[in-house]
Amino acid sequence: MNKYNFDEINNRRNTNSVKWDVKDNELPMWVADMDFKVLPEIKAAIKKRSELDSYGYIDIPKDYFSSYRYWYKNRHSLDIKEDEMVYVSGVVAGIDSVFKHLLHKGDGVIVMTPVYHIFYNCIKNNGLKQFDNEFIYRNGKYVIDFEGLENLAKKDEVKALLLCNPHNPIGKLFSSEELAKIAKICENYGVFIISDEIHGDIVKPGKENVSILKVSDKAVALVSPSKTFNMAGLQAACIFVKDQKLKEKIETAVGQDDIGEPNYFSPFATIAAYTYGEKYVNELNEYIFNNKKYIQEYLKKYLPHLHLINNDATYLLWLDISYYKMDGKEFANRLREETGLYVSNGNQFGKGGDSFMRINIATSLANIKEACKRLQLFVSKLN
Ligand SMILES: Cc1ncc(COP(=O)(O)O)c(C=O)c1O
Protein backbone atom coordinates (compact mmCIF):
# COMPACT_ATOMS: atom_id res chain seq x y z
CA MET A 1 0.00 0.00 0.00
CA ASN A 2 1.35 3.38 -0.96
CA LYS A 3 1.55 6.01 1.74
CA TYR A 4 1.73 9.11 -0.46
CA ASN A 5 -0.73 10.22 -3.11
CA PHE A 6 1.14 11.85 -5.97
CA ASP A 7 -2.03 12.10 -8.08
CA GLU A 8 -3.12 14.90 -5.80
CA ILE A 9 -1.00 17.90 -6.69
CA ASN A 10 -0.86 21.46 -5.49
CA ASN A 11 -2.61 24.23 -7.35
CA ARG A 12 0.37 26.52 -7.80
CA ARG A 13 -1.23 29.10 -10.06
CA ASN A 14 -1.04 32.69 -8.81
CA THR A 15 1.34 31.79 -5.99
CA ASN A 16 4.35 33.66 -7.42
CA SER A 17 5.56 30.34 -8.79
CA VAL A 18 8.19 30.72 -11.51
CA LYS A 19 6.75 27.64 -13.13
CA TRP A 20 3.01 28.12 -12.75
CA ASP A 21 2.37 31.85 -12.99
CA VAL A 22 1.65 31.51 -16.68
CA LYS A 23 -1.47 31.96 -18.80
CA ASP A 24 -4.56 30.04 -17.65
CA ASN A 25 -4.53 27.71 -20.64
CA GLU A 26 -0.85 26.88 -20.27
CA LEU A 27 0.46 23.63 -18.86
CA PRO A 28 4.01 24.34 -17.61
CA MET A 29 6.44 21.44 -17.83
CA TRP A 30 9.69 23.34 -18.06
CA VAL A 31 11.70 24.56 -15.03
CA ALA A 32 12.97 21.75 -12.79
CA ASP A 33 10.64 21.80 -9.83
CA MET A 34 7.85 19.43 -8.89
CA ASP A 35 4.11 19.87 -8.45
CA PHE A 36 3.72 17.26 -5.72
CA LYS A 37 2.87 18.00 -2.12
CA VAL A 38 5.89 18.00 0.13
CA LEU A 39 6.63 15.37 2.70
CA PRO A 40 4.30 16.19 5.66
CA GLU A 41 7.24 16.22 8.09
CA ILE A 42 8.87 19.03 6.07
CA LYS A 43 5.70 21.08 6.30
CA ALA A 44 5.47 20.35 10.03
CA ALA A 45 9.09 21.44 10.56
CA ILE A 46 8.45 24.73 8.77
CA LYS A 47 5.21 25.27 10.64
CA LYS A 48 6.96 24.70 13.95
CA ARG A 49 9.63 27.24 13.07
CA SER A 50 7.08 29.73 11.78
CA GLU A 51 5.27 29.65 15.09
CA LEU A 52 8.23 31.18 16.88
CA ASP A 53 7.68 34.91 16.79
CA SER A 54 11.13 35.95 15.68
CA TYR A 55 12.96 35.09 12.49
CA GLY A 56 16.44 36.34 13.29
CA TYR A 57 19.87 34.97 12.34
CA ILE A 58 20.51 31.36 13.21
CA ASP A 59 23.42 28.97 13.53
CA ILE A 60 23.52 25.84 11.41
CA PRO A 61 21.87 23.18 13.56
CA LYS A 62 24.16 20.30 14.48
CA ASP A 63 21.73 17.78 13.01
CA TYR A 64 21.92 19.45 9.60
CA PHE A 65 25.15 17.73 8.64
CA SER A 66 24.33 14.46 10.38
CA SER A 67 21.09 14.25 8.40
CA TYR A 68 23.11 14.43 5.17
CA ARG A 69 25.48 11.81 6.54
CA TYR A 70 22.59 9.49 7.38
CA TRP A 71 20.89 9.95 4.00
CA TYR A 72 24.01 9.51 1.89
CA LYS A 73 25.13 6.48 3.85
CA ASN A 74 21.77 4.75 3.64
CA ARG A 75 20.66 5.77 0.22
CA HIS A 76 23.89 6.17 -1.70
CA SER A 77 26.29 4.01 0.36
CA LEU A 78 28.54 7.03 0.50
CA ASP A 79 30.50 7.45 3.69
CA ILE A 80 30.77 11.19 4.06
CA LYS A 81 31.46 12.67 7.46
CA GLU A 82 30.07 15.83 9.02
CA ASP A 83 33.48 17.51 8.92
CA GLU A 84 33.65 16.91 5.17
CA MET A 85 30.66 19.16 4.48
CA VAL A 86 30.23 22.88 3.89
CA TYR A 87 26.85 24.59 4.13
CA VAL A 88 25.93 26.68 1.13
CA SER A 89 22.71 28.42 0.21
CA GLY A 90 22.42 26.83 -3.25
CA VAL A 91 24.18 24.54 -5.65
CA VAL A 92 24.70 27.21 -8.29
CA ALA A 93 25.90 29.67 -5.64
CA GLY A 94 28.37 27.00 -4.49
CA ILE A 95 29.69 26.35 -8.00
CA ASP A 96 30.09 30.08 -8.54
CA SER A 97 32.00 30.51 -5.31
CA VAL A 98 34.34 27.59 -6.00
CA PHE A 99 34.99 28.94 -9.50
CA LYS A 100 35.57 32.47 -8.29
CA HIS A 101 37.98 31.66 -5.48
CA LEU A 102 39.67 28.43 -6.47
CA LEU A 103 40.24 29.11 -10.16
CA HIS A 104 41.84 32.09 -11.87
CA LYS A 105 40.35 34.30 -14.55
CA GLY A 106 41.04 32.79 -17.96
CA ASP A 107 41.21 29.20 -16.68
CA GLY A 108 39.41 26.64 -18.79
CA VAL A 109 36.45 24.57 -17.60
CA ILE A 110 35.17 21.48 -19.41
CA VAL A 111 31.44 20.77 -19.62
CA MET A 112 29.80 17.73 -21.15
CA THR A 113 27.22 19.12 -23.50
CA PRO A 114 24.29 19.43 -23.88
CA VAL A 115 24.14 20.44 -20.23
CA TYR A 116 22.18 22.45 -17.63
CA HIS A 117 22.36 25.92 -19.15
CA ILE A 118 23.24 27.77 -15.94
CA PHE A 119 26.65 26.07 -16.00
CA TYR A 120 27.53 28.35 -18.90
CA ASN A 121 26.70 31.41 -16.78
CA CYS A 122 28.89 30.14 -13.92
CA ILE A 123 31.81 29.85 -16.34
CA LYS A 124 31.26 33.14 -18.14
CA ASN A 125 30.40 35.24 -15.08
CA ASN A 126 33.62 34.21 -13.38
CA GLY A 127 35.83 35.12 -16.32
CA LEU A 128 36.55 31.47 -17.15
CA LYS A 129 36.76 29.82 -20.53
CA GLN A 130 34.32 27.15 -21.64
CA PHE A 131 35.47 23.93 -23.29
CA ASP A 132 32.76 21.68 -24.68
CA ASN A 133 33.09 17.93 -24.49
CA GLU A 134 29.99 17.01 -26.44
CA PHE A 135 28.41 13.59 -25.82
CA ILE A 136 28.46 11.29 -28.81
CA TYR A 137 24.86 10.79 -29.91
CA ARG A 138 24.52 7.67 -31.97
CA ASN A 139 21.48 5.53 -32.80
CA GLY A 140 19.39 7.43 -30.30
CA LYS A 141 21.85 6.86 -27.43
CA TYR A 142 24.50 8.90 -25.67
CA VAL A 143 28.07 7.87 -24.93
CA ILE A 144 30.89 9.85 -23.40
CA ASP A 145 33.57 11.10 -25.77
CA PHE A 146 36.53 10.04 -23.62
CA GLU A 147 39.06 10.81 -26.32
CA GLY A 148 37.66 14.33 -26.66
CA LEU A 149 37.72 14.69 -22.87
CA GLU A 150 41.37 13.69 -22.70
CA ASN A 151 42.29 16.07 -25.51
CA LEU A 152 40.69 18.93 -23.61
CA ALA A 153 42.11 17.89 -20.23
CA LYS A 154 45.61 17.95 -21.77
CA LYS A 155 45.40 21.64 -22.53
CA ASP A 156 47.46 23.75 -20.13
CA GLU A 157 44.71 26.29 -19.60
CA VAL A 158 42.09 23.67 -18.64
CA LYS A 159 41.83 23.45 -14.86
CA ALA A 160 38.42 22.00 -14.07
CA LEU A 161 35.60 19.74 -15.20
CA LEU A 162 32.08 20.72 -14.19
CA LEU A 163 30.19 17.46 -14.21
CA CYS A 164 26.42 17.07 -13.99
CA ASN A 165 25.92 13.72 -12.24
CA PRO A 166 23.30 12.49 -13.00
CA HIS A 167 23.07 14.49 -16.12
CA ASN A 168 20.56 17.24 -16.79
CA PRO A 169 19.10 17.29 -19.46
CA ILE A 170 19.93 13.90 -20.98
CA GLY A 171 19.06 12.00 -17.77
CA LYS A 172 22.17 9.87 -17.89
CA LEU A 173 23.30 7.89 -14.85
CA PHE A 174 27.06 7.52 -15.01
CA SER A 175 28.40 4.05 -14.17
CA SER A 176 31.23 3.59 -11.65
CA GLU A 177 33.48 2.57 -14.54
CA GLU A 178 32.69 5.72 -16.50
CA LEU A 179 33.24 7.91 -13.46
CA ALA A 180 36.52 6.16 -12.67
CA LYS A 181 37.68 6.74 -16.23
CA ILE A 182 36.71 10.42 -16.08
CA ALA A 183 38.47 10.77 -12.72
CA LYS A 184 41.61 9.09 -14.03
CA ILE A 185 41.82 11.38 -17.05
CA CYS A 186 41.31 14.42 -14.85
CA GLU A 187 43.85 13.24 -12.30
CA ASN A 188 46.45 12.58 -15.00
CA TYR A 189 46.25 16.17 -16.20
CA GLY A 190 45.59 17.93 -12.89
CA VAL A 191 41.99 18.81 -13.73
CA PHE A 192 39.80 19.48 -10.70
CA ILE A 193 36.32 17.85 -10.77
CA ILE A 194 33.27 19.68 -9.48
CA SER A 195 30.29 17.37 -9.58
CA ASP A 196 26.74 18.74 -9.37
CA GLU A 197 24.73 15.86 -7.87
CA ILE A 198 21.51 17.72 -7.16
CA HIS A 199 19.41 15.25 -9.16
CA GLY A 200 21.04 12.19 -7.58
CA ASP A 201 18.00 10.90 -5.69
CA ILE A 202 15.64 10.77 -8.64
CA VAL A 203 16.48 7.46 -10.26
CA LYS A 204 14.56 4.60 -11.81
CA PRO A 205 13.60 2.12 -9.05
CA GLY A 206 16.40 -0.41 -8.73
CA LYS A 207 19.05 1.96 -10.08
CA GLU A 208 21.56 3.99 -8.11
CA ASN A 209 23.40 7.21 -8.73
CA VAL A 210 27.13 6.92 -8.06
CA SER A 211 28.76 9.94 -6.48
CA ILE A 212 32.05 11.15 -7.92
CA LEU A 213 33.41 10.88 -4.38
CA LYS A 214 33.25 7.12 -4.65
CA VAL A 215 35.98 7.20 -7.26
CA SER A 216 37.91 10.34 -6.37
CA ASP A 217 38.87 11.84 -3.01
CA LYS A 218 40.08 14.97 -4.73
CA ALA A 219 36.76 15.96 -6.28
CA VAL A 220 33.97 17.97 -4.70
CA ALA A 221 30.27 17.17 -4.98
CA LEU A 222 27.37 19.57 -4.54
CA VAL A 223 24.12 18.15 -3.24
CA SER A 224 20.79 19.39 -1.95
CA PRO A 225 17.37 18.05 -0.96
CA SER A 226 15.79 20.75 -3.15
CA LYS A 227 14.95 18.72 -6.28
CA THR A 228 14.12 15.51 -4.43
CA PHE A 229 11.78 17.07 -1.91
CA ASN A 230 10.37 19.98 -3.84
CA MET A 231 11.95 22.65 -1.67
CA ALA A 232 14.06 24.62 -4.14
CA GLY A 233 12.54 27.88 -2.90
CA LEU A 234 14.01 27.28 0.56
CA GLN A 235 17.59 27.45 -0.63
CA ALA A 236 19.83 25.04 1.19
CA ALA A 237 22.59 22.87 -0.15
CA CYS A 238 25.86 21.30 0.84
CA ILE A 239 29.32 20.90 -0.60
CA PHE A 240 30.92 17.52 0.06
CA VAL A 241 34.69 17.76 0.18
CA LYS A 242 36.95 15.11 1.66
CA ASP A 243 40.27 16.88 1.27
CA GLN A 244 40.56 19.03 4.39
CA LYS A 245 42.87 21.63 2.84
CA LEU A 246 40.43 22.07 -0.01
CA LYS A 247 37.59 22.25 2.49
CA GLU A 248 39.25 25.15 4.30
CA LYS A 249 39.59 27.03 1.02
CA ILE A 250 35.96 26.38 0.15
CA GLU A 251 34.79 27.50 3.59
CA THR A 252 36.71 30.73 3.13
CA ALA A 253 35.26 31.19 -0.35
CA VAL A 254 31.71 30.60 0.79
CA GLY A 255 32.22 32.96 3.74
CA GLN A 256 33.63 35.71 1.51
CA ASP A 257 30.66 35.39 -0.82
CA ASP A 258 28.20 35.49 2.10
CA ILE A 259 26.47 32.32 1.02
CA GLY A 260 27.32 30.24 4.06
CA GLU A 261 24.63 31.45 6.43
CA PRO A 262 21.50 29.42 6.84
CA ASN A 263 18.01 30.51 6.03
CA TYR A 264 15.72 30.47 9.08
CA PHE A 265 13.65 27.53 7.80
CA SER A 266 15.70 25.50 5.36
CA PRO A 267 18.07 23.56 7.68
CA PHE A 268 15.07 22.26 9.61
CA ALA A 269 13.27 21.31 6.42
CA THR A 270 16.42 19.51 5.29
CA ILE A 271 16.70 17.57 8.54
CA ALA A 272 13.04 16.50 8.26
CA ALA A 273 13.50 15.47 4.61
CA TYR A 274 16.55 13.32 5.20
CA THR A 275 15.23 11.85 8.44
CA TYR A 276 11.72 10.92 7.31
CA GLY A 277 11.89 10.94 3.51
CA GLU A 278 12.95 7.42 2.57
CA LYS A 279 9.51 6.01 1.72
CA TYR A 280 8.44 9.26 0.09
CA VAL A 281 11.37 9.13 -2.33
CA ASN A 282 10.83 5.45 -3.09
CA GLU A 283 7.22 6.11 -4.00
CA LEU A 284 8.08 9.33 -5.79
CA ASN A 285 10.54 7.52 -8.04
CA GLU A 286 7.97 4.86 -8.82
CA TYR A 287 5.46 7.53 -9.74
CA ILE A 288 7.85 9.51 -11.90
CA PHE A 289 9.06 6.47 -13.79
CA ASN A 290 5.46 5.36 -14.32
CA ASN A 291 4.78 8.77 -15.85
CA LYS A 292 7.73 8.19 -18.09
CA LYS A 293 6.45 4.75 -19.08
CA TYR A 294 3.07 6.26 -19.95
CA ILE A 295 4.72 8.82 -22.24
CA GLN A 296 6.99 6.20 -23.77
CA GLU A 297 4.01 4.01 -24.69
CA TYR A 298 1.99 6.96 -25.92
CA LEU A 299 4.80 8.09 -28.19
CA LYS A 300 5.29 4.60 -29.55
CA LYS A 301 1.60 4.35 -30.39
CA TYR A 302 0.75 7.83 -31.60
CA LEU A 303 3.94 9.80 -32.17
CA PRO A 304 6.58 7.35 -33.36
CA HIS A 305 8.75 10.06 -34.93
CA LEU A 306 9.49 11.64 -31.57
CA HIS A 307 12.35 9.72 -30.00
CA LEU A 308 12.51 9.63 -26.24
CA ILE A 309 16.00 9.14 -24.80
CA ASN A 310 15.90 6.14 -22.53
CA ASN A 311 17.23 7.64 -19.32
CA ASP A 312 17.35 6.27 -15.79
CA ALA A 313 17.63 9.47 -13.82
CA THR A 314 15.94 12.81 -13.18
CA TYR A 315 12.33 13.81 -13.77
CA LEU A 316 13.37 15.48 -16.99
CA LEU A 317 12.69 13.80 -20.31
CA TRP A 318 14.88 14.49 -23.29
CA LEU A 319 13.08 14.16 -26.57
CA ASP A 320 14.64 14.07 -30.02
CA ILE A 321 12.51 16.09 -32.46
CA SER A 322 14.95 15.97 -35.38
CA TYR A 323 12.48 14.10 -37.61
CA TYR A 324 10.49 17.32 -37.92
CA LYS A 325 13.49 19.28 -39.20
CA MET A 326 12.61 22.18 -36.99
CA ASP A 327 14.86 24.05 -34.59
CA GLY A 328 14.16 23.11 -30.95
CA LYS A 329 13.41 26.69 -30.07
CA GLU A 330 10.86 27.08 -32.82
CA PHE A 331 9.30 23.72 -31.94
CA ALA A 332 8.96 24.63 -28.25
CA ASN A 333 7.69 28.16 -28.98
CA ARG A 334 5.07 26.98 -31.42
CA LEU A 335 4.05 24.13 -29.14
CA ARG A 336 3.46 26.66 -26.39
CA GLU A 337 1.65 29.17 -28.59
CA GLU A 338 -0.56 26.66 -30.34
CA THR A 339 -1.40 24.25 -27.49
CA GLY A 340 -0.31 25.91 -24.23
CA LEU A 341 2.13 23.06 -23.46
CA TYR A 342 5.20 24.82 -22.09
CA VAL A 343 8.45 22.81 -22.30
CA SER A 344 12.13 23.77 -22.42
CA ASN A 345 13.76 24.07 -25.80
CA GLY A 346 16.90 22.01 -26.23
CA ASN A 347 18.96 24.84 -27.71
CA GLN A 348 19.52 26.50 -24.35
CA PHE A 349 21.52 23.48 -23.16
CA GLY A 350 24.26 24.18 -25.66
CA LYS A 351 26.05 22.07 -28.23
CA GLY A 352 24.06 19.02 -29.25
CA GLY A 353 20.75 20.33 -27.94
CA ASP A 354 19.31 22.03 -31.02
CA SER A 355 16.89 19.37 -32.12
CA PHE A 356 15.62 18.37 -28.70
CA MET A 357 13.19 19.48 -26.06
CA ARG A 358 13.13 18.82 -22.34
CA ILE A 359 9.93 17.95 -20.52
CA ASN A 360 9.55 18.01 -16.74
CA ILE A 361 7.34 15.07 -15.75
CA ALA A 362 7.23 15.67 -11.99
CA THR A 363 3.51 16.23 -12.06
CA SER A 364 0.28 14.21 -11.84
CA LEU A 365 -0.46 11.48 -14.35
CA ALA A 366 -3.55 13.51 -15.28
CA ASN A 367 -1.27 16.37 -16.40
CA ILE A 368 0.97 13.91 -18.23
CA LYS A 369 -2.04 12.60 -20.16
CA GLU A 370 -3.10 16.14 -21.01
CA ALA A 371 0.43 16.96 -22.17
CA CYS A 372 0.49 13.93 -24.46
CA LYS A 373 -2.79 15.03 -26.06
CA ARG A 374 -1.47 18.53 -26.64
CA LEU A 375 1.73 17.21 -28.12
CA GLN A 376 -0.19 14.93 -30.44
CA LEU A 377 -2.45 17.78 -31.54
CA PHE A 378 0.56 19.91 -32.36
CA VAL A 379 2.47 17.21 -34.19
CA SER A 380 -0.59 16.14 -36.19
CA LYS A 381 -0.50 19.56 -37.84
CA LEU A 382 3.15 19.12 -38.81
CA ASN A 383 2.73 15.87 -40.67
C1 LIG B 1 21.84 20.37 -12.50
C2 LIG B 1 21.28 21.48 -11.66
N3 LIG B 1 22.07 22.10 -10.77
C4 LIG B 1 21.62 23.10 -10.00
C5 LIG B 1 20.32 23.54 -10.09
C6 LIG B 1 19.87 24.67 -9.22
O7 LIG B 1 20.29 24.47 -7.91
P8 LIG B 1 20.15 25.63 -6.82
O9 LIG B 1 18.74 26.12 -6.90
O10 LIG B 1 20.47 24.95 -5.53
O11 LIG B 1 21.13 26.67 -7.18
C12 LIG B 1 19.45 22.92 -11.00
C13 LIG B 1 18.08 23.40 -11.16
O14 LIG B 1 17.39 23.10 -12.09
C15 LIG B 1 19.95 21.87 -11.80
O16 LIG B 1 19.17 21.24 -12.69
pLDDT tens readout for residues 60-94: 998 999 999 999 999 999 999 999 999 999 999 99
Q: Has residue 368 been placed in a domain?
A: yes
The domain in which residue 74 lies consists of 43-276
Whether 111 lines ligand 1, by a CB cut-off of 6 Å, is no
Ligand 1 midpoint to CA 198 (Å): 7
Q: Is the CB of 343 under 6 A from ligand 1?
A: no
Out of 276, 301, 319, pick the residue that ends a domain: 276
Q: Tell me, what's the pLDDT at 1?
A: 85
Instruction: Strands of the chain (E only): list them.
Output: 27-28, 85-88, 108-111, 129-132, 136-138, 141-143, 158-164, 192-196, 220-223, 237-241, 307-308, 316-320, 341-342, 344-345, 356-360
pLDDT of residue 125: 98
pLDDT per residue as tens digits for the range 238-288: 999 999 999 999 999 999 999 999 999 999 999 999 999 999 999 999 999
Mutational test site, ligand 1, from 29, 92, 222, max ligand atoms within 8 Å of CB: 92
Q: List the one residue out of 102, 185, 107 whose CA is nearest residue 146.
A: 185
Judge if the beta carbon of residue 116 lies within 6 A of ligand 1: yes
Tens of pLDDT, residue by residue over 283-293, are: 999 999 999 99
Assigned domain for 304 exists: yes
User: In testing the pocket of ligand 1, which one of 29, 119, 198, 358 has its CB within 8 Å of the most ligand atoms?
Assistant: 198
Q: What is the CATH number of the domain that holds 229?
A: 3.40.640.10
Considering the domain boundaries, does residue 232 fall inside one? Answer: yes
Q: Name the stretches of the chain with pLDDT < 70.
A: 383
My answer on whether 255 and 376 are in the same domain is: no
Percentage of residues of the chain with pLDDT beyond 90: 98
Per-residue model confidence (pLDDT) at position 56: 94
> Are 251 and 291 contained in the same domain?
no
Separation CA 74–CA 77 (nearest Å)? 6
User: What is the domain count for the chain?
Assistant: 2
Instruction: Give the per-residue pLDDT at 152.
Output: 98
Q: Does ligand 1 lie within 6 Å of residue 224's CB atom?
A: yes
334 and 352 in a common domain? yes
The residue to mutate among 96, 196, 316, having the most atoms of ligand 1 within 8 angstroms of its beta carbon, is 196
Would the CB of 270 count as within 6 Å of ligand 1?
no
